[in-house]
Amino acid sequence: MNFATQLNQLQIAIRHTRARMLAPLDHRQLQLPTDPEIFVEDVLHYVMDEVAADVRSLGHVLEQDTTWKDPLNHYPLYLLHLAGGDVLNLHFTGDYPHSLFLTISKGFRRTEQFSDARMAHVTLGVSMDPNRLLLAILDGLNRFGH
């Protein structure tokens, strides 16, 4: 499976997730917490757990790499194990609360090794609205024209 096809599989799952998650938001909860771990737990992990359910329906497995921890970054690393055996790294980075990025790259046996040969880099906004995060990921993936 080539990199564009792999990104397409992720995009399909995120579309399903977005369709399921469209719901009204309590605007009293839009203020960003001062603790980045709260944002990561309440928004980022929630969104990725929902994406994982839809990825699983396509025969793939999305899991958080719990061995990855960057105390300065606070953002997680996810591994997308595709049905054909390939692995994609979904690496969130940024400077909370100012920036959030998602870099998707081919995975290697050693988790600290990333490929820059083929990767997708998506700029996301930091928001307590999970729908905005999903839409930003989906819009970012659309730029790579599968």
13-38 per-position pLDDT tens digit: 888 888 777 655 566 666 899 999 99
Predicted local confidence at residue 16, as pLDDT = 83
Judge contact between 103 and 121, C-beta under 8 A.
yes
How many Å apart are CA 99 and CA 39, to the nearest integer?
Answer: 12
Judge contact between 48 and 78, C-beta under 8 A.
yes
Predicted local confidence at residue 41, as pLDDT = 92
Predicted local confidence at residue 144, as pLDDT = 75
Predicted local confidence at residue 3, as pLDDT = 87
* Regions of the chain short of the pLDDT cut 70: 22-30, 108-117, 145-146
**Among the residues of the chain, which ranges form H helices?**
3-21, 36-39, 45-57, 130-142
Judge contact between 46 and 64, C-beta under 8 A.
no
Mutual angle of helices 45-57 and 3-21, in 10-degree steps:
110
Which residue matches tokens 């998707």? Answer: 104
DSSP label at 75?
A: -
Predicted local confidence at residue 24, as pLDDT = 58
How far apart, in Å, are the Cα atoms of 2 and each of 19, 41, 57, 65, 73? 26, 32, 20, 23, 30
